[in-house]
Structure 1
Amino acid sequence: MELTEYPLLHEVDLMLTLLKVATEGPATIDDAAERLKRNLESVGLSSPVPDREFQIYLTRARDRLVHAVLLAPLGDGRFTITPRGVQALSDHPGGIDDSVLMNFPEFRAFIEAEAGRPVKRIGSKDNAGDDDPRIIEFDQGYAAFQQGIGLQANPYERDRVMHLAWENGWCEARDDALRAEKWADRSTNI
């Protein structure tokens, strides 16, 4: 079961919850999970998944916010919001997703390292005519496979082109891994 099927549980909502919880002082993933449950209860919904699944999705979102330097880990399982995080929350009160995080060089460097190739920021001068936003989602999907994240963790709505681009990136990474495995098998038989 995917969290993205539920209102208030999309990646944007997860990141927003993490940032808001961190504005109250040092926070934990459990604090954010409790906030999400209260948000759901406030609109008459119950938790659609076990606590462990909430923690997995929140941990992934927290790590992305840490790579963008919007949150800072405190080393004991807690995290705090950074000045950049406060500014991003102010600039994007409706939520933050990877399209916002790609504006931060640290996050782009993280995605590039995971993808094994440079990614371009939409609208930047070094993009000369390359305005296809699906490149970012493709690279995110590629990196997700390399991180061991399953295909079902696609953060985009199913009826969006970004969902397909992410899925294509994930599948390309899987195919590359399978090709590399076959090559390794052949080379040992030579």
Structure 2
Amino acid sequence: MPLPFLTADRAFDDASLDAALPFEDRDQWRRPYRPGPWRVGVAALVLLLASYVLFASVIIAFAESLAGAALCAGLAVLCIAGALRLLRVGTWVSARGVRRVHFLRTRTVPWAQVEAVRTAQQPVRWLGLPRTVQGQALILVRRDAAGDGQQLLLTDRNADFLARHEAFNRAADSIEVWADEYRVTA
């Protein structure tokens, strides 16, 4: 069974350089890159843990402790939901705007509010941990934001692009092309 949230649009990888936006339906939200091995590996481990917890809930149910079985099944459902949400984390684009999906929240910025999307060399967090290292970041600059007005979209040291510099460059270029195509110039 194909899982659409796991597969990025392969049309970007197969497209010629002439067609930077090779998609028919541009209103659909798309992640212009594949999830990285770190993200997929952690999600796989969480799903493995969920299978053990589900098996334990069946054993507990046969032992006629339905409250304990329901508790274990609920924990397994939370693990499965967490793994699926972890796989959805990332930057998504469509003709309506750019969407940054975090584990617990999602922010969407319409293209009309985007001033620029650019790549910068700066300190970035390594795998989302508090430790920072020097790396590249794709930054979205908003028009109407008070204060800094910058939002971090991608880094080359996150769970999707660690040790995959070419994939980061392709994803950053793709998001920049979407921004150039759809943002309104003032």
Same fold (TM over 0.5): no
Return the TM-score normalized by structure 1.
0.27
Q: Greater relative contact order (Cα 8 A, min sep 6): structure 1 or 2?
A: 2
Higher strand share: 2
Higher helix share: 1
